Amino acid sequence: MTQFLFSCKEAGKKSPLSHFLHGGNRTLRDRRADGIRNEDISNFSRGELMNMEPSSTEGGAEETLLKNHPPSLPHKVILKHGQELEEEQEELAEHQPLEQEDLNFERWKRRPLPERTLHQKIVDIKTYLWNAETKEFMGRSGKSWSLILLFYTALYVFLAAMFGGCMFCLMWSISPYHPTFNDRVMPPGMTMSPHLEGHEIAFNASDRKSWKKYARSMDEYLRPYNDGPQEKKNIRCTQDRYFMQDDLEESTERKACQFKRSWLGDCSGLQDPHYGYSQGRPCILLRMNRILGYLPGQGKPINVTCGVKKGPPEALGEIQFFPKSLFDLKYYPYYGKLRHVNYSAPVVAVRFAGVQYDTHIQVQCKLNGKGIINDSPTDRYLGSVTFSLDVGA
C-alpha cells in the first residue's frame, strides 16, 4: 500500500484510493466538492481495494486501477457530481428558515433617488433631444422616425380617401334641389319682427332711444321687399291659386311672385319711417315659415288672428292688418334656394292702433287653416307666436 501511494505521489496524480485514504480527516462536504459520492467510495473500497495483493510489484496496483478506470473518467465523474451537489445545496438553502434579520422588511424598501440638479435635468433633456453617441432624435433613430412617418402618412391618406369616398357617395345619392324624404314634414311655424330681446316689445313713445332699435330692425327686415328689386326680379301674379311649376326640369330656375313693400301701408315705413312707434301705435311683421314643396291650407288661404293671451282684453284696442290678414296661395309652393332664387315670402303686417299705455299684456298671433296646428303645448312657435307688449306714454 505504501508503495502504491508513493508511486501515485511520484506520478503527480491523485488516484481514487488516495482520495479515500486521505479523506478521513475531511468532512463529507469537502468530499462532495471533489465530486466523489460515498457510494462511489464504498464501491471502490470493496471491489478494487480487496483485489490488490501485497506482493504486487511497485506500481502494479496503480496500473490495475488505471486499467479498470481510465484517467479521464474520474474527472468527468467529479464534474458531473459536483454540479449535482451544487444544485442540491442551492435547493437546501432555499428551504432553510429565514433568520430574524431577513424578516426586517425595512431594509428591502426602495431607497429614494437622490434629487437631481437643474444642470443634470438640462443635460438629460439635451441628450433626449439629440443623442450624439447613438445618433437618435427624441429617443428614435432616423430609420425609426422614417417608418413612423410612413405609417401615419399611409394611415391618414387612407382615412381621407375613405371620408372622401363616403362624401362622394352621399352627394351622389341625394338631390341638391329637394329632400329625399319629406313625408313627415311638420306644419309651418310663424316668426315675427322685430325680434331683439326675446319676444318682448317695451318702449315709451316720447323716448326716441327706447324704440329706435325696433324701427331699425323693421328697416333691415323689409329691405328685400323694396318695390324696385321686386319689379325687376319677380313677376306680378294675379291668380288666387297655387303657382305650380313642377313641369319644368329639376335644375330650371323657378319664377317668383312679387311682394312689394308699399303694399304694407302704414307699416311699410315709407309714409311713417318710425313704423308707428313714435305715436304709441307699433307695427310688427308676421311671416309663415318656408317649407319646400308645402301647400298650406289645402286649397284655401291661411288667415292670421291676434288677441290677448294674458292681461285685460280691452287693453289691446284696434288691430289693423296689411295688406290683409291672409297668406295668398300664389306664393306657394316653395322650390328651395337653388331654384327659387328670388323668392320673397309673403308678410302680414299688424298694427296695434289702440293699445293702452302703461299696461303690460301678452299677445298671441295664430295661423288658422286646414292642416295648421296652433295650440301645441310643447312648441310655442308651431302655428303661432306669443310676445309681450308694454307701451308707455
* C-alpha dihedral sign at 58, 63, 66, 69: negative
DSSP state of 140: B
pLDDT of residue 212: 94
CB atoms near residue 392 (< 10 Å): 15
Where do the domains of the chain lie?
116-173, 190-391
Long-range contact list for 50-53, CB < 8 A, 24+ apart? 52/1, 52/4
DSSP state of 41: H
The residue type of 23 is: G
Give the DSSP letter string of 280-319.
Answer: T--EEEEEEPP-BT--GGGGS-EEEEEEEEES-GGGS--E
pLDDT of residue 31: 44
Instruction: Kindly list the averaged pLDDT for each block of 10 residues, start to end, along the chain of length 393.
Output: 40 41 42 44 42 42 43 43 60 58 66 84 89 87 92 97 95 85 77 86 93 94 94 91 91 93 94 93 94 89 94 92 94 92 94 93 94 86 92 89
Give the closest residue to 267 by CA, choosing from 249, 282, 251: 282
Domain spanning 190-391, CATH class: mainly beta
d(CA 307, CA 299): 26
Give CA torsion, residues 33, 39, 41, 46, to 10 deg: 180
pLDDT of residue 277: 95
pLDDT of residue 185: 66
Give 138's contacts (C-beta < 8 A, 6+ positions apart). Answer: 128, 129
- Let me know if 54 is exposed, middle or buried by CB neighbors in 10 A (0-12, 13-18, 19+): exposed
Cell 295664430 sits on residue: 366
Distances (CA, A) of 109 to 101, 105, 167: 14, 7, 60
